[in-house]
Amino acid sequence: MKPRVLVTRKLPDAVEARLRRDYEAILNPTDTLYTSEEIIKKAVGMAAILPCHTEKFTAEVIARLPECVKIIANFSVGYDHVDVDAAKKRGLIVTNTPDVLSDATAELTMMLMLGAARRASEGERLVRTRQWKDWSPSFMVGVQVTGKRLGILGFGRVGQVVAERARGFDMEIHYHNRRRVAPELEKGAIYHATPEELMVHCDFLALHCVASPETNGLLNAERIALLPDGAVVVNASRGSVIDEDALIAALRSGKLYAAGLDVFINEPAIRPEFRELTNVFLMPHIGSATRETRDGMGFRALDNLDAFFAGKAPGDRVA
């Protein structure tokens, strides 16, 4: 008998085809966003749940899951939506999908930098609304990316790929990480032991740290104050790593030239100020949204399920 798997969102066709082949999969063809109560009810009789970051597995939800559920195989690299301590206490295995989205997220980070620096949102609106009248030397002047200093806060898989892409723009790479990486991974990037030390070297700052209690509000007013005047901040990690009040104040005051944001606190119900500010380039959490990457994420989640049900240790276990 095939293991029963609850799939909480609509997944790519190739991923769902493999699910149907190897499992008794309960799919979500309408891509309905289930509530916690609905997930608990639908989990009855399931051996596994394959969720995305949109579903919250708090300690209370985990405690109420049927005992038949043995593994949560996330379709995401981040797992801050799962209380891993509660999962460990219950003996519930949790996995994620690292590595496969590094290139796509790095591409999106470069788009955020370019879009924010070159005022892409403003320009696009001018063209669409027929307000573009003529050309002049002072029209739509932005900030150049080439040759600038890029600070990367979090120098893991994604941060290292961002550094590689940024070198194509002749950017000087600076970074802070919990631990300094090996020279062959630095490739000339300059390490700073604290976020504060990093800030003063950032014409552009890209955040690529995981969401955790330690990184909550990591970019706050004090650290923004240390950035050079006119710096550009981009975030394609998690919204919680930025103090949004402080970011909005810095964008309004001109301390920051611009921001490029793909993630937010309480998304999609984002702060209205972000929509109102003209110096923010906004994206709807699409860092991993390429066909290649979404297929890769799904296959990675299924690899973890395959290993578990074959009696082996899943390769991407986080709890």
176 is catalytic: no
Question: Which residue in 118, 157, 174, 238 is the catalytic one?
Answer: 238
Strand 93-95 and strand 71-73: the pairing is: parallel
* Residue in 107, 122, 186, 267 annotated catalytic: 267
Point out the catalytic residue in the list 118, 119, 285, 300.
285
Q: Indicate if 157 belongs to the active site.
A: no
Task: Say whether 238 is catalytic.
Answer: yes
List, by residue number, the catalytic residues: 238, 267, 285
